[in-house]
Amino acid sequence: MRARKECGDVPVERIGVGAYTVPADAPEGDGTLAWESTTAVVVEADAGGVRGLGWTYAPAATAEVVRELLAEVVEGRDAFGVPGLNESMCRAVRNAGRPGIASCAISAVDIALWDLKAHLVGLPLADLLGVVCPEVPVYGSGGFTTAPDERLRAQLESWVHGLHIPRVKIKIGQDRGRAVGRDLSRVALAREVIGPGAELYVDANGAYARGQALRVGRELSAYGVEWFEEPVSSDDLAGLRLLRDRLDCDVAAGEYGYDLPYFARMTAAGAVDCLQADATRCGGITEWLRVAALARAQGLQLSAHCAPHVHAHPAAAVPDFRHIEWFHDHARLEPLLFEGEGLLDPSGGSVRPGASGAPGLGLALRRTGAERYRVA
């Protein structure tokens, strides 16, 4: 184990950043968007002879925000003072605008700084943060609206019957809610494939209007759907609350939160049964843990949106944590770009962050393999 450095004597020496675009393995889409590739903006933070790794899923332009606005406020500062560095980055983007790309940039740097700090003290990041739950549940996520039935079937079978993950989610709301019959037939297929014992979730990505979402939600009860994500736009807090009050399944949202006030508004409105947050968007692990505290104060569980190798370690430190989204794109991309003992195995429906004992996230950029995908 690496000897602990004294706080205050380890300045951040360098913030490096690159963007990598990986083609999808098939055309993908949900109720409101379609895509054929995913871009990861990767940050490396150097100090004291070690390197921290962080990333976000955002446009390549995010890398320029890191270079132009954030690197200079972090380099030369104490690597142990991550919350202070996070605050400085938030102040640095005041005129650029915090939500959106700037928040994604802050998130990537913040994650790299937490990974760096864990490397400096020689601990897995989960241990540094304080483990509450050593095993963190995951759910298989994909089931894109663009997928033909045979591909949907194969994906569901691989999660539930291959990896033995007992909870899965598919996309609905096809064509911005104009194909409800198709949505429900895919839900029926999903239940047939996974059987009665697995949990079934759906995600409309805000494709429905309120009345339509209510009608669909009532139909979903016949298939034992337990989780209805973004049945309406996540900005429609009144609509989410209406649906939460009238449906049997849990209503979830929050993945588009870029700062703590967003989540405060959502919880104050009573809009969700489970709050979702994404550390690669909301301001990094620093802000994600604050969202976790807010959820606990409101008696809500927290679920992590995508980026499983980012979320596993902080999730282990949250008492009321529900699950990590084992999202098809990111679960495929992260082993392509990163290597190390920290790569996770979701078999059995949970992961054990830090089990290898490797410091930090236990990952490093796979330089030779990643370079072919580099775009910035």
> What is the SS3 assignment for 205?
coil
Q: Which residues contact 242 (CB under 8 A, 6 or more apart)?
A: 210, 214
Angle between the N-to-C axes of helices 308-315 and 284-297, in degrees from 0 to 180, rounded to the nearest 10: 50
Render pLDDT for 320-345 as a digit per residue (tens, 0 to 9): 999 999 999 999 999 999 999 999 99
How high is the pLDDT of residue 61?
Answer: 98
The yes-or-no verdict on residue 21 having pLDDT over 50 is yes
What are residue 145's phi and psi, to 5 degrees?
-65, -20
Give tens-digit pLDDT for 83-95. Answer: 999 999 999 999 9
C-alpha 84/C-alpha 101 separation (Å) is 21
H-run or E-run covering 289: helix 284-297
Q: 2 versus 236: which is more confidently predicted?
A: 236
Q: What is the reported pLDDT for 294?
A: 98
Q: What percentage of the chain reaches a pLDDT higher than 70?
A: 98
What is the tens place of the pLDDT at every residue in 266-321?
Answer: 999 999 999 999 999 999 999 999 999 999 999 999 999 999 999 999 999 999 99
The tens digit of pLDDT for each residue in 98-138 reads: 999 999 999 999 999 999 999 999 999 999 999 999 999 99
Please report the pLDDT score of residue 7 as a whole number: 54
Query: What gap in Å lies between CA 339 and CA 369, rounded to an integer?
Result: 10
CA distance 354 to 128: 10
Mean of pLDDT values over 26-31: 96
Taking every pair of C-alpha atoms in the chain, what is the biggest distance, in angstroms? Answer: 62
Q: Is the pLDDT of residue 207 over 80?
A: yes
Give the separation between CA 204 and CA 317, rounded to whole angstroms.
Answer: 29
Rg of the chain over CA atoms, in angstroms? 20
pLDDT value of position 3? 44
Question: What pLDDT band is residue 349 in, cutting at 50, 70 and 90?
Answer: very high
Q: What is the pLDDT, as a whole number, of residue 304? A: 98
Average pLDDT value for residue range 217-238: 98
Distance of CA 233 to the CA centre of its chain: 18
Query: What residue type is assigned to position 172 of the chain?
Result: I
Report yes or no: 280 and 57 within 8 Å, Cβ to Cβ: yes
Give the pLDDT band of residue 157 (cuts 50, 70, 90).
Answer: very high
**Section 26-38 average pLDDT:** 97
15: enclosing H helix or E strand: strand 14-29
The pLDDT, as a whole number, for residue 2 is 44
Tokens 């963190």 -> residue: 136
